Amino acid sequence: MSIARLTTGSKVTRQAITKHLRVMEQAGLVDSKRHGRESVWQLKQRGLEDARYHLDLISKQWDNALGRLRKFVEG
């Protein structure tokens, strides 16, 4: 989506939108391509899904670790 389309019907300025998009780009949530004079932005769905999956994995590792702690102090 272009900045022009993103700001249509919104009170947010082009500058503010661009600033937000740059931050999101750095975080790996969106990316942009030059299309003539304007940038076209798209969501990177896969980045989000991977991050969630990664957090789920870490969460499961903690479940396991706490299970071992229980065995250690209760056993």
Of the ranges 5-13, 14-22, 34-42, 67-75, which one interacts with other proteins (CB under 8 A)?
67-75
Q: Which residue in 42, 47, 41 sits closest to 28, CA to CA?
A: 47
- Contact set for other proteins, span 11-50 (CB under 8 A): 26-29, 46-48, 50
Measured between alpha carbons, how far is 23 from 11 in angstroms, rounded to an integer?
Answer: 20
The three-state secondary structure class of 33 is strand
Does position 53 interact with other proteins (CB under 8 A)? The reply is yes
- Which residues contact other proteins by CB under 8 A? 26-29, 46-48, 50-55, 57-59, 62-74
